Amino acid sequence: MTFIQERTLADQVRLDFPILHQQVNGKPLVYFDNAATSQKPLFVLNALRDYYEQYNSNVHRGVHTLSAKATDAYEGSRDKVARFVNAKSRQEIVFTHNATEAINLVAYSWGMNNLQPGDEIILSVMEHHSNIVPWQFVAAKTGAVLKFVELTPAETLDLEHFQKLLSEKTKLVSLVHVSNTLGCINPVTEICTLAHKYGAKVLIDACQSVPHMPVDVQQINCDWLVASGHKMCAATGIGFLYGKLELLQAMPPFFGGGEMIAEVFLDHSTYADLPHKFEAGTPAIGEAIALGAAVDYLSKIGMDKIHAYEAELTAYLFEQLEKIPQIKIYGPKPNEQGEGRAALAAFTVAEVHANDLSTLLDTEGVAIRSGHHCTQPLHRYLNIAATARASLSFYNTREEIDIFIKALKETIDFFTGLFGEQ
């Protein structure tokens, strides 16, 4: 009897991603930089092209056929995103240019108008710069105080320390769901429950979770959540803010201009209903439509299926990396099934700079990220200058991991020999 091996998820979807089928420096591309940005399937690329080729027009402002079609597609994408994260209402989804803008929207609209001297904002040492710098601005302007949750010995969020930081002075908790460097998955539902006991609001940076696992804002019970389209198979220049309806209704507009108004007089203006009061000017129409297509694509595959397959890849990646004695990996270890962390590994190699590793791996067609990954405070906390990071997605394969590991070993051997000769 002949057994046919079941096709992996990657086998089923790789043909959807034209960029993956090329050579870099004469070698087949192995793209392991998915935490920085994901690749785009033809389904999404075609949606973007169709908009510009077939019904390019501004939204909301015209009664002609092309404008109506563009408006329907743009607002249809909002409905898709709302369902994707299980928002109660489509009005709770605000399109932004990226997650950074979404965080700044909350910082300036809510933070500047609600925080007072002595109020406390709790962040963590693992936050992306986008979830630190806006709150530094707010603290400097309002007199609020920033507090930072530290790490456990396993390099995960120290929940006990978080609980110690919470007090009646805590007005906001803003934390990452999945660390783009440590790969740890923070217990956001528990964090929201603990923070809400003190009356604090909670913002979740879900850039590294929404593309890789089911995310339910009602189950998490966060007050705001942000994500970027380009990390979830959509285009650059589009992201979204989820916010509880009553909070968004109470927040003043962030940008002023066309589209976000109800009426404009010479001496005052009134504002449009949600979510449009936060979407001033001509939006990223094509990009928003493509985001809706990306949501359709991911939903058709199934986020549970994506998460399970990426867990298998994670287990295999760590199994192979841990065989290389010169490597130190940061963040928690996955279990045997690959669960317990995201599908990425940030690591260092003794006496070899991460940029040098990345440069030589590139000559073998392997694309990884090197540097501080917009987490300089975390790298200082860990007392390291930079890390190399391999990050996976559902279109990656075990065979690609093997190519990466082989190239990594050869790169380390090269530098070891180089240093040995010195």
pTM for this prediction: 0.95
**Could you give the CA distance from residue 48 to residue 63 in angstroms, rounded to a whole number?**
22
Strands 366-367 and 23-24, how do they pair?
A: unpaired
- Residues in the chain, how many? 422
Closest CA to 291 of 88, 121, 43: 43
pLDDT in the model for residue 420: 52
Token pair 């949750």 is found at 149
The answer to whether 374 is a known catalytic residue is yes
pLDDT digits (tens, 9 = 90+) for 280-338: 999 999 999 999 999 999 999 999 999 999 999 999 999 999 999 999 999 999 988 88
**Could you give the CA distance from residue 364 to residue 99 in angstroms, rounded to a whole number?**
33
pLDDT > 60? residue 2? no
pLDDT > 50? residue 422? no
pLDDT confidence bin for 6, thresholds 50/70/90: low
pLDDT > 50? residue 3? no
Rounded average pLDDT over 121-129: 98
Other CB atoms within 10 A of residue 340 CB = 17
> For the chain, what percent of residues have pLDDT higher than 90?
89
Task: Supply the mean pLDDT for the chain.
Answer: 95
pLDDT > 90? residue 31? yes
Bridge partners of 151, per DSSP, are 157
Alpha helices in 197-238 (DSSP H): 217-220
pLDDT in the model for residue 336: 84
**Could you give the CA distance from residue 298 to residue 306 in angstroms, rounded to a whole number?**
8
Span of 1-5, 120-124, 390-394 with lowest mean pLDDT? 1-5
Alpha helices in 322-397 (DSSP H): 354-363, 376-381
- What is the fold, at CATH topology level, of the domain defined by 9-32+302-421? Aspartate Aminotransferase, domain 1 (3.90.1150)
Distance of CA 407 to the CA centre of its chain: 28
Bridge partners of 345, per DSSP, are 390
pLDDT > 90? residue 271? no
**Could you give the CA distance from residue 273 to residue 61 in angstroms, rounded to a whole number?**
15
Residue ranges of domains in the chain: 9-32+302-421, 45-300
CATH architecture for the domain at 45-300: 3-Layer(aba) Sandwich (3.40)
From the list 192, 207, 222, 374, the catalytic residue is 374
**Could you give the CA distance from residue 110 to residue 401 in angstroms, rounded to a whole number?**
44
**Could you give the CA distance from residue 16 to residue 40 in angstroms, rounded to a whole number?**
8
pLDDT in the model for residue 1: 31
